[in-house]
Amino acid sequence: MATDGHGRRIDYLRISVTDRCNLRCVYCMPSEGVPWKPHDALLSFEEIERFAAVAAGEGIGKIRLTGGEPLVRVGLIDHVRRLRELTGIESIAITTNGTLLPKFAHELVEAGLKRVNVSLDTLDPTVYSQITRGGKLKDALAGLEAAFESGMDPVKLNVVVVRRLEQDLLGFAKMTLERPIHVRFIEYMPVGGAEEGVACSSSEGEGWSEADEVPADEILARLTAEGAAAGYGELQPVAKPDAPGGWGPARYYRFPGAPGTLGVISPLSHHFCGECNRLRLTADGRLRTCLFSDDELDARAVLRTGTDADVRELIKQALAAKPESHNMRVGTIRRMSQIGG
Ligand code: SAM
Ligand code: SF4
């Protein structure tokens, strides 16, 4: 079992397999995209698998694949299959914008990946196209259907809440009344853009601002009031054992009789650093100890020149270096698409 320098159990590794994406969400990437790393700068699948094997030996049992958009990387299905076969890896999940799930969901399940988080911030096609800079809502919704049809479970939906977008939160709540979907509202975070001086900046110059933040308590208050007005009943907390199996910090609620749940993830308004259970490996092989900290260890160099014992030593160093809590500052050097969320 791996514990960090603050006694927290660390059993979860988020792996970004690419910094490329087929969308350009305004809070994640500038419209022109992020300069892509040359192929050689990225970890090969073989290098990722070697890292994961050593990490599994140190107590990592859960892996989430993310990006960029993980499904744009060629060969991902076989990568999943090989990760799944590693001793000690109990479960693999993916975070995706969903648009490529119609093509890959069945193969992913067959390769051993069932847990999926689809990112979808609005059910309005025009707003979706604005947020993603040209994406089509119908593609993401088709991906969601493919996730259910292929037997993925649990199916979760990530919704970043940004005040200026005036999202219809109740529209998402309605989905939980109809099917076993787990919608998680995520506070908008000022990640990326430090070098430009505008957190989450888009090239249009609009970045994160405190005014755009919608605290989780406000999200819950809105769902409670709007749900009651719509006749959905009283929003009730879901006890941990009944919550959809999760590895993260979401707090879950449900309307009476709903097969799905509503969750909130509140890195800003309620720190959950005390329960942090994860390390992050970026596509270019940096081991990141905290989403909000640009302190990174160079796993790529160790994977390319060192032994497994060296990799193990690096993981131990990362565990020891994990900060007790995030020193939330506005802007990090890497953007969300380069970290993996
Ligand atoms: N492309 C995949 C996707 O969109 O699900 C995986 C990578 S994306 C960077 C991972 C998650 O980070 C998504 O759910 C996305 O909505 C979220 N995200 C990106 N930028 C964010 C921000 N500034 N604040 C909060 N969440 C953010
Ligand atoms: Fe791409 Fe995901 Fe970032 Fe949107 S949030 S630009 S889909 S990586």
Q: What is the crossing angle of helices 169-178 and 216-229, to 10°?
A: 60
- Separation of alpha carbons 24 and 3, rounded Å: 36
Question: Over the stretch 306-323, which tens digit does the pLDDT of each residue have?
Answer: 999 999 999 999 999 888
Judge whether 255 and 223 are in contact, CB under 8 Å.
no
Per-residue pLDDT, averaged over 196-205, amounts to: 57
* Cβ of 96 below 6 Å from ligand 2: no
- pLDDT bin (cut points 50, 70, 90) of residue 32 is confident
Mean pLDDT of the chain: 90
Q: Report how far ligand 2's centroid is from the alpha carbon of 8 (Å).
A: 29
Question: Does the pLDDT at position 211 exceed 90?
Answer: no
- Return the ligand number nearest the Cα of 26: 2
Q: Name the residue at shortest CA distance from atom 4 of ligand 1.
A: 97
Judge whether 316 and 287 are in contact, CB under 8 Å.
no
Q: Report how far ligand 1's centroid is from the alpha carbon of 64 (Å).
A: 13
* Cβ of 67 below 6 Å from ligand 2: yes
Q: Name the residue at shortest CA distance from atom 8 of ligand 2.
A: 68
**CATH 3.40.50.1970 correct for 12-339:** no
Q: What is the pLDDT of residue 197?
A: 63
Per-residue pLDDT, averaged over 119-123, amounts to: 97
Judging by beta carbons within 10 Å of its beta carbon (0-12, 13-18, 19+), is residue 74 exposed, middle or buried?
A: exposed
User: Between 1 and 20, whose confidence is greater?
Assistant: 20
Task: Judge if pTM exceeds 0.85.
Answer: yes
Per-residue pLDDT, averaged over 81-109, amounts to: 98
Judge whether 215 and 269 are in contact, CB under 8 Å.
yes
Q: What is the pLDDT of residue 189?
A: 84
User: Between 209 and 113, whose confidence is greater?
Assistant: 113
- pLDDT bin (cut points 50, 70, 90) of residue 192 is low
User: Between 183 and 1, whose confidence is greater?
Assistant: 183
Question: Does the pLDDT at position 29 exceed 90?
Answer: no
* Cβ of 28 below 6 Å from ligand 1: yes
Site to probe by mutation for ligand 1, drawn from 95, 191, 337 as the one with most ligand atoms within 8 Å of Cβ, is 95
Question: Does the pLDDT at position 331 exceed 80?
Answer: no
Q: Report how far ligand 2's centroid is from the alpha carbon of 308 (Å).
A: 33
Q: What is the pLDDT of residue 181?
A: 97
* Cβ of 337 below 6 Å from ligand 2: yes
Q: Report how far ligand 1's centroid is from the alpha carbon of 226 (Å).
A: 26
3-class secondary structure, 173? helix
- Separation of alpha carbons 56 and 53, rounded Å: 5
∠ at Cα 167 (275, 205), nearest 5°?
85
Question: What are the φ and ψ backbone dihedral angles of 340, each rounded to 5 degrees?
Answer: 110, 5
The CA R_g of the chain, rounded to the nearest whole Å, is: 19
Question: Does the pLDDT at position 240 exceed 60?
Answer: yes
DSSP string, 249-268: --EEEE-TT-SSEEEEE-TT
Question: Over the stretch 136-182, which tens digit does the pLDDT of each residue have?
Answer: 999 999 999 999 999 999 999 999 999 988 899 999 999 999 999 99
Judging by beta carbons within 10 Å of its beta carbon (0-12, 13-18, 19+), is residue 82 exposed, middle or buried?
A: middle
Judge whether 333 and 26 are in contact, CB under 8 Å.
no
Determine which helix (DSSP H) or strand (DSSP E) holds 317, and give its type and residue range. Answer: helix 308-321
Both tokens of residue 143?
């991906």
- pLDDT bin (cut points 50, 70, 90) of residue 195 is low
- Return the ligand number nearest the Cα of 132: 2
Question: Does the pLDDT at position 332 exceed 80?
Answer: no
Question: What are the φ and ψ backbone dihedral angles of 53, each rounded to 5 degrees?
Answer: -65, -45
